[in-house]
Structure 1
């Protein structure tokens, strides 16, 4: 409930602005530093504007060994994991929300329990499984692990959206002459689209930024995702000195696909988050 007291509203606005600045400043400082020369960064007087800086840091990052391969690896792995995860989680959410079958409660309980397990507890078992299949340092191997890790949360999230859409809408469409599949595609699926987008964003972020599993499954320098490449890049500076400008430029480039993806889907994501909060 919004307060009618002007003083409280002003105080709330000030607090919101302070929190927003505190959240955004590290991102701004990363981008700002990526355009600064090593001498400017080392200067005791900070430079708060990137204007008049240099693009040499970005040129060094793009031309560095392994960046192109790591970018392709991340894009391919994230794309595969995202598509498979959304399809499997969507079908699973439909099954546990729309149908009554033996073992349904057990499946829902298993999904919850999987979310409670620490990821680190399964690293050894996952490594042995992927190694036994001969899929270490491969796109297929790391994609399988990512799908298995992300599907339970995505399925549970989508379940709330599916349960929030009355089945009566599909039944009404069937009475009007639609088949069951046609009623689902014409009535239910458009209403679920914002939820699919919102769930896809969370799945995308989990896979794109994942580091721990990738560091175990992708040990070859020729098969690294961007987070792994960024770690090695920041440790490979000459003479033991970290080139902070290049590190910041590399971090910015790693974040760019996330920003682009978010800008594309932000409208539907907002609708999906609000819909899930109301209907879930």
Structure 2
């Protein structure tokens, strides 16, 4: 009983530790200008205002940046899921020369730091005449999220008995029909979990968006968010309010698919 209580207290302290930055962001966004950064920080703001959210919402470029981020992120994630699931099925179900090396390559690709890919990606997009085009971000985010999607979905495919597909093919389904009617529905939790993590990765990316896109009407939300810091100072209240707005799409998506995502993460941890 004592060990269980100690574990619960430790878990609560750890949860509060990770939740405090989010709480600080929200409370700072609700404070009046001039009281955001002070030496005596109030855990509970006594003076609340929505002016910072009005400033963030009316800041030029918000809606266009929101649309650019949604378009780029959803397109890249959708492409990564489609290609990743085909690669996962190939790595899990088919035997071909170099399969183990290919699987290892997927793992190595996930370990490559973004900074190491910046210059090669920039030169490639420049040579392809995609510099200053949102297509370049779609291709970059697709390349970044694809190894993760393929590697993770491979674990979920391995967790589905191949006998189910064989039984479907005995009943008259082809290989594609067995995959579509048997494997794909069972991969639902895995697809949700993988798409959420891929969405967060692409949604929060700043470095490539800053380098490959210079036009204000084509910038994404992370780049737009950096506009609150100018040579005259930083509007911390507006920046915190904009950060809250920035997290809303990802938070809403997470709340919608929360149950399936938890089931998918648990299944992927058991089956590898």
Give the TM-score taking structure 2 as reference length.
0.94
CA drift of 1:119 comes to 2.5
Change (3 A) 1:121 1:246: same
Residue 120 (structure 1) aligned with residue 96 (structure 2): no
Give the TM-score taking structure 1 as reference length.
0.91
Q: Find the aligned partners of 1:124 and 1:242 in 2 and give their Cα distance.
A: 29
CA drift of 1:37 comes to 0.3
2:23 pairs with one of 19, 28, 46: 28
Q: Find the aligned partners of 1:164 and 1:183 in 2 and give their Cα distance.
A: 16
Change (3 A) 1:107 1:44: closer
Residue 258 (structure 1) aligned with residue 250 (structure 2): yes
CA drift of 1:52 comes to 5.5
CA drift of 1:136 comes to 1.2
Equivalent position of 2:204 in the other structure: 209
Gaps of at least 5 residues in structure 2 are none
| Cα contact 1:40–1:47 (8 A) shared by 2 | no
Q: Deviations along 1:171-222, whole A, 9 cap, x unmatched?
A: 1122233333332222211111111111111110110001112121112222
Change (3 A) 1:176 1:216: same
Equivalent position of 1:3 in the other structure: none
Change (3 A) 1:263 1:51: farther
Total equivalences in the alignment: 272
Equivalent position of 2:105 in the other structure: 110
Residue 101 (structure 1) aligned with residue 96 (structure 2): yes
| Cα contact 2:134–2:213 (8 A) shared by 1 | no
Equivalent position of 1:7 in the other structure: 2
CA drift of 1:96 comes to 1.0
Alignment of 1:1-280 (within 5 A): 6-42=1-37, 44-49=39-44, 53-233=48-228, 235-236=229-230, 240-280=232-272
Q: Find the aligned partners of 1:117 and 1:13 in 2 and give their Cα distance.
A: 37
Give SS of 1:137's match: coil
| Cα contact 1:111–1:156 (8 A) shared by 2 | yes
Q: Find the aligned partners of 1:44 and 1:109 in 2 and give their Cα distance.
A: 51
CA drift of 1:151 comes to 0.4
CA drift of 1:265 comes to 1.0
Cα RMSD of the aligned pairs, angstroms, is 1.7
Change (3 A) 1:93 1:38: same
Q: Find the aligned partners of 1:170 and 1:8 in 2 and give their Cα distance.
A: 46
Q: Find the aligned partners of 2:113 and 2:17 in 1 and give their Cα distance.
A: 30
